Every structure is written in C-alpha cells, then in structure tokens.
C-alpha cells in the first residue's frame, strides 16, 4: 500500500541547490515556485540557480573528477550503484509520489516504474566493471604494442525535461557513476523534486561530494551549463528547439553532445494484425502519461480493410479510460503538466478541426469537481487525417492521436518516413516477412513489432534525424560517457 501522506522530503522549507555535497541557496537568493499539476497548489519553492551557481557547481564537479573519485576502483563504484538501487527501491513510494504531486502522472503509473528504475541502476552497476579497451595489432615498421584505454569523459552537464523526472535523472546519472564522470544536473522547472531527492540518495549511497550536483532553475540555468567552458559533455532530453540552441552553445568549447529530442512516431497496423492486441497497446502508445511521452505513437496508420473497425475500437477504448485525480489509484489519465502545456495542446485540438480532420472522440478539456484545478484533456482521436496537416506533422505532447488510412506497403512506409523526426515506430502484423521489411525500412531508433513502448537499460533508445543523436540504454549509453585513448609502447 502506498502511503499518500506527504513524503518526508516535502518539509515545507524552500529547496536548495545540491553542490559539493552541501545544500546551498542560489547566490542571488532568488527562488521559483512549482505548483501541483493536479491541484494547482504550491508544492515547493526551489532555489533559482544563475550563472554563478552553475559555475560553482561545475568547479565542484571538476574538483571531484580530479580528486579521490578518479582513483576509486570500478568495483567500488559498482558497490555504490548497487547501494543506490537499494535506497531508491526502499523509498520508491515516496519518489513516485513526488513526481505525481508535482507533474501529475497518475500514482499507479508512477509506481509502475519501480522495477524499471531498480533494474536500470543495477544495470549501470554491472556496467561499471565491464569498461575496457582493446589490444590492436599494428603494422608500424618499429615494433610497437598498441592498445586503447577507456576513460571517463569528465564533467557532464545533464539537462532533463519534466515528463519523467525520476527516470530521466536515473538514466543521466547512472552512466556518470558507472564510468567515473561527475555531473551537474539541471531538472526541469516543472519537476525538480525527485531529481533533487535522488541527488541526496546518491550521497547517502556513498557517492563522494561534488560528483553529483543538482542545480534547480530555468532555461537560463540550462543555458549557463551548456555554455560553460569547463563542461566536457552535455546530455540533453527535451524539445527539438531547445536542443538546437544547446548544440549552438556547446560549440564554444567543442563539447561532446548527446540529444534525445521529440518525435511523431508512426504505428502501422496491417489488416492481418491481432486487433485485440493492437487496440490497448496502440491506445496507450498515444495516451500514456497524457501523451507527454517523446516516443508516443501518435500517427496510427491503419490498412483500409480494418480502418473503420480500428477507429471504432480505439474510440471505445479511449472513452473507457479513467480520467481522474492523480492520487486516485484507479486513475489512468492525469492532468497535463501546466497551463502552458494545456494551451499548446488546446491549440492543436482546435487546429485539427480547422484542418478538416474527423474528430472521433475527445477534443475537449474535462472539468468538474477536483478536475477544475488542473488541466485534463479527454483522450482524443482524429481520423481521416491528411499527411500534410500540422496535427500529423508536429509534436503535440498531449493525449491526441491521428489515425490515417493506407492501402499499400510501400506507400505507408514512405508516409511513415515523411517526417523530420525518427525516434520510434510500431508495426502490427502476423506476417514476419512483412514485419521485417518494415523494421528495416522505417528510419527510427526503436521499432516495436506487435508491441509498443518496451524499454530496457540493456537496449539502445534514441533518435534518427531531428529526434537527436546518441543512444541511452545499451552499450552506446555507457560509451557516450567515455573517451578513448590510443596508447603506443615500443617493445
């Protein structure tokens, strides 16, 4: 049973920055408020880190990188990560509750991430003792032994969004600890609580001061981190526009950069698919977390013979979803994170109608009683959507799906690929040959066949095209935090 009383971390005091193992105010003394997505109440006040605070955090991270941390054995970092996995797991109810209170993810869904978070930290712990270079035969005229050393990249600046705060913090900080890097992490202004608490748990697990620093703040805080000359790498998850700005800022000191950006992922249903399996997965591929998911399958292509049946069954499923307060364990659809996000989503709801799509279900805000204090949007489906409509091309980041008919394999693949994004995609068919052909031809970083949304720390996830570059999960995730040094020894 989850205890819905306030987590101990919410003690009513303003939250400070976590720099060099200490809680400190912003040098300016400035703070910003964070409001509950579900109730509009003030959840907490946070220190607003400015350029000077970011600089202080980067200095702490640099000193820690050069200090005892750099001499710590891989097995010691592994032990710390395993301890961290235990601490996070033991406190998971509270951590999930922090995310629910702040950004509105329904509590049952937030609690559902428990095993994923534990497995992730255990995975990063395992990686810590599996980092190694290669011995490379060379053809130099002199007898020389050549080999590579894998070294931590240095000070990492991590910038995360609000749609999965704890999970994002874990996937940014885990590889830092596995590889021996240090980090300054900036949470999103709408969801700073669980990343801050996770930073404290890192210290409790034995991470030395300065290795993990958390600077709460706004866009200016992230910009200061992205432009800081002594940050070696930026790991960013968020919007394409902000990602582009960060790439430009990072050029000043030629930082290594990884980008996990937005998407408009295709989910393709062939007529021979098992529709009983398609409907719930395709629907939750759109509506999970009220659609505030980068990999959401928001372009549902359906082969003509089953087109109307899929529309009707998707609509019935959408209408059966339980919309409610975030803290109600029965709730499946919670609020959008903020008024700003609601206005964005609402503008697309109007646009879809104006563009001539057929509104099948939803398309409106849901109000009444407790729901008046936040921004709930009914699960929404547009059918007969044209490929050129903006609702089919732009990331909405709300519970809004587009259903598009198709007649031909080559045609649907071309249309699935006719997007600037390439984060993910789905294919539903009983024909393995057709499935494999689609897998090979869809230009996206993750493809699910007869499934949607599986993720695992052992499997790479990330974008083609403007959905970004670099992978999180898999070997590539760890590699992105490492340098390679070529070494030559005369013998």
Which sequence positions are flagged as catalytic? 260, 294
Give the residue closest to ligand NAI by C-beta.
Answer: 222
Out of 16, 39, 146, 239, name the contact with ligand NAI by CB under 6 A: 239
Residue 218, binding choice from ligand NAI, Mg ion, none, Cβ under 5 to 8 Å by partner class: ligand NAI
Interface with ligand NAI by CB under 6 A: which range of 64-72, 220-228, 310-318, 449-457?
Answer: 220-228
* 404 vs 417: CA distance, rounded Å: 14
Binders in 383-422 for ligand NAI, by CB under 6 A: 395, 397
Out of 128, 223, 349, 413, name the contact with ligand NAI by CB under 6 A: 223
Give the residue closest to Mg ion by C-beta.
Answer: 190
Interface with ligand NAI by CB under 6 A: which range of 75-83, 174-182, 183-191, 426-434?
Answer: 183-191
* 165 vs 199: CA distance, rounded Å: 12
| Interaction of residue 258 with ligand NAI, rule CB under 6 A | no
- For the bound state, the minimum distance from the C-beta of residue 34 to Mg ion, rounded and expressed in Å, comes to 5
Out of 121, 185, 188, 378, name the contact with ligand NAI by CB under 6 A: 188
Interface with ligand NAI by CB under 6 A: which range of 122-130, 160-168, 279-287, 429-437?
Answer: 160-168
- For the bound state, the minimum distance from the C-beta of residue 422 to ligand NAI, rounded and expressed in Å, comes to 13
| Interaction of residue 222 with ligand NAI, rule CB under 6 A | yes
Interface with ligand NAI by CB under 6 A: which range of 124-132, 233-241, 375-383, 483-491?
Answer: 233-241
Binders in 329-368 for ligand NAI, by CB under 6 A: 341, 344
- Cβ proximity to ligand NAI: between 246 and 438 the closer is 246
Residue 397, binding choice from ligand NAI, Mg ion, none, Cβ under 5 to 8 Å by partner class: ligand NAI
- Cβ proximity to ligand NAI: between 101 and 223 the closer is 223
Interface with ligand NAI by CB under 6 A: which range of 89-97, 236-244, 297-305, 470-478?
Answer: 236-244
Out of 245, 373, 434, 443, name the contact with ligand NAI by CB under 6 A: 245
- For the bound state, the minimum distance from the C-beta of residue 215 to ligand NAI, rounded and expressed in Å, comes to 10
Task: Report residue 294 as tokens.
Answer: 């980068």
- Cβ proximity to Mg ion: between 202 and 327 the closer is 327
- For the bound state, the minimum distance from the C-beta of residue 77 to ligand NAI, rounded and expressed in Å, comes to 27
CB 205 within 8 A of CB 4: no
- For the bound state, the minimum distance from the C-beta of residue 223 to ligand NAI, rounded and expressed in Å, comes to 4
**Strand-strand pairing, 380-383 and 376-377:** unpaired
- Cβ proximity to ligand NAI: between 168 and 429 the closer is 168
List of residues contacting ligand NAI (CB under 6 A): 159-163, 186, 188-189, 218-219, 222-223, 226, 237-239, 242, 245-246, 261-262, 294, 341, 344, 395, 397
């Amino acid at each position: 049973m989850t205890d819905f009383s306030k987590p101990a971390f919410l003690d009513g005091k303003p939250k400070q920055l976590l720099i060099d193992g200490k809680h400190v105010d912003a040098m300016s003394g400035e703070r910003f408020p964070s409001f509950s997505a579900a109730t509009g109440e003030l959840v907490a006040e946070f220190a607003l880190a400015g350029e000077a605070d970011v600089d202080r955090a980067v200095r702490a991270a640099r000193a820690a990188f050069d200090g005892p941390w750099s001499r710590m054995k891989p097995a010691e970092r592994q032990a710390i990560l395993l301890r961290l996995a235990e601490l996070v797991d033991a406190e998971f109810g509270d951590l999930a509750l922090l995310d629910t209170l702040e950004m509105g993810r329904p509590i049952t869904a937030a609690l559902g991430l428990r095993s994923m978070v534990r497995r992730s930290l255990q995975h990063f712990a395992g990686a810590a003792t599996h980092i190694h270079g290669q011995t490379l035969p060379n053809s130099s005229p002199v007898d020389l032994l050549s080999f590579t050393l894998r070294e931590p990249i240095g000070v990492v600046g991590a910038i995360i969004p609000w749609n999965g705060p704890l999970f994002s913090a874990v996937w940014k900080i885990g590889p830092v600890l596995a590889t021996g890097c240090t980090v300054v992490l900036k949470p999103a202004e709408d969801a700073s609580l669980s990343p801050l608490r996770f930073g404290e748990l890192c210290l409790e697990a034995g991470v030395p001061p300065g290795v993990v620093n958390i600077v709460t703040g706004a866009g200016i805080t992230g910009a200061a981190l992205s432009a800081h000359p002594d940050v070696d790498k930026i790991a960013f998850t968020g919007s394409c526009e902000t990602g582009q700005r960060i790439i430009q800022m990072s050029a000043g000191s030629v930082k290594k950069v990884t980008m996990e950006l937005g998407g408009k992922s295709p989910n393709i249903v062939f007529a021979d698919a098992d529709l009983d399996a398609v409907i719930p997965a395709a629907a939750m591929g759109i509506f999970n977390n009220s659609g505030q998911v980068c990999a959401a399958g928001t372009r549902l292509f359906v082969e003509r013979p089953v087109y109307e049946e899929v529309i009707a069954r998707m609509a019935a499923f959408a209408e059966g979803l339980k919309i409610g307060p975030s803290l109600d364990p029965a709730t499946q659809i919670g609020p959008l994170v903020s008024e700003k996000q609601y206005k964005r989503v609402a503008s697309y709801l109007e646009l879809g109608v104006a563009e001539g799509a057929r509104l099948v279900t939803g398309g409106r805000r849901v109000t009444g009683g407790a729901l008046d204090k936040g921004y709930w949007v009914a699960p929404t489906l547009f059918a007969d959507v044209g490929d050129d409509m903006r609702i089919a091309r732009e990331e909405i980041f709300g519970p809004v799906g587009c259903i598009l008919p198709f007649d031909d394999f080559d045609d649907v693949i071309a249309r699935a690929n006719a997007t600037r994004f390439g984060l993910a995609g789905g294919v539903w068919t009983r024909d393995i040959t057709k499935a494999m052909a689609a897998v090979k031809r869809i230009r996206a970083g993750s493809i699910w066949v007869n499934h949607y949304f599986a993720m695992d720390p052992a499997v790479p996830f990330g974008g083609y095209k403007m959905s970004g570059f670099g992978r999180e999960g898999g070997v590539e995730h760890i590699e992105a935090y490492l340098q390679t040094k070529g070494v030559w020894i005369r013998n």
